[in-house]
Amino acid sequence: MTEPAGRSPATHFVAVLIPEPEKWLSDITYYGPMLQGLSDGLLERGFYMRAVDCLHEYQRERFLGARSELYAGAVFLGPAYAFEAFIREVVRRVHGPKVLLDHHIEGLEVHSVREDAEAGMRMVAEHLLALGHRRLAYLDLDDPNANPWKRRGISLALAGAGLGELDSGRVAGCRYNFLDVSKALDWFMALDPRPTAVLCCDDLRALLLLQAAAERGLRVPQDLSITGFGDNAVRTGRSRILTSVNVDPTLMGRKAAELIAAGAAAKPLAVLMPPELTVRGTTAPAQPGNGAPAPGR
């Protein structure tokens, strides 16, 4: 077997830094398929993926104390973004290529592979605007720093329609649980004027929002249009009607493996995987009777 450029002949392992590896390796919706794609892509190129837990400080210190020559490179899975100082230290100490998978840190000279969340959410917002919706709300993650690109995509769509950027008063961050999502919906519905459509940061929260809307007697999409992101609901069989955006996580993992195999000499690339919008049954034209502007306004 010919060794890839920049790789030591004795090195066959790639460190994959993940907070709580068991949690993400067993995920069937997003990170699990992404890690499977990464593993398959690495194996095809003669590498072995070694998951390393980096949730706790002692785990991060232990990894940094290991011999860097043990690894041909490193991959940081999205949830590791919270430990930026650790990421930067790994970049400094570990030889070989490094890849941020499902995240990007501006100014960090490593590869990154992530979904083009900005373009995807802009597609969703433009779809709703084309249906006549002018009062959009956004259901975000509980940590707004986890994915700022989705909010930016909505703002770009609104600005393109002459409506200004996304109003912070119409953004609700919430944890992934029914209580948080229900409270967010109540807050949205109490706004004056209330939103006619809610864009959700992911399908998981969108499904909870659909449930909360049904409990409150809101008809979707007649009274309120709801969109997701990731297309996990359809992929896992939990919904067949949710309008959502899809980026194949398996392909993202394979792309990261390709960048690792390119060797340390390759120029760092910021790879954005193109999204695809699928319109289904949870979006419809805005109705003047539910708080939307009259046609032509």
Encode pLDDT of 49-62 as tens digits. 999 999 999 999 99
Q: What tokens were used for 285?
A: 């034209």
User: Going from the N-terminus, what domains does the chain have, and what CATH number goes with each?
Assistant: 13-115+247-266 (3.40.50.2300), 117-246+278-290 (3.40.50.2300)
Mean pLDDT to the nearest integer, 66-90: 91
Tokens of 227: 């969109």
Q: CA-CA distance, 7 to 219, in Å (whole number)?
A: 58
Q: pLDDT band for position 133 (50/70/90)?
A: very high
Q: Say if residue 4's pLDDT is above 80.
A: no
Question: What are the distances in angstroms from CA 127 to CA 49, 158, 233, 296?
Answer: 40, 11, 19, 17
266-287 pLDDT, tens digit per residue, is 899 999 999 999 999 999 999 8
List strand residue ranges (DSSP E) for the chain, in order.
13-18, 48-53, 71-77, 98-101, 111-115, 136-141, 171-174, 197-200, 225-227, 244-246, 270-273, 276-278
Residue 183: what pLDDT? 97
- Kind and range of the H or E run holding 130: helix 117-130
Write down the number of H helices and E strands in the chain: 10, 12
* pLDDT (tens digit per residue) in 5-44: 444 444 689 999 999 999 999 998 899 999 999 999 999 9
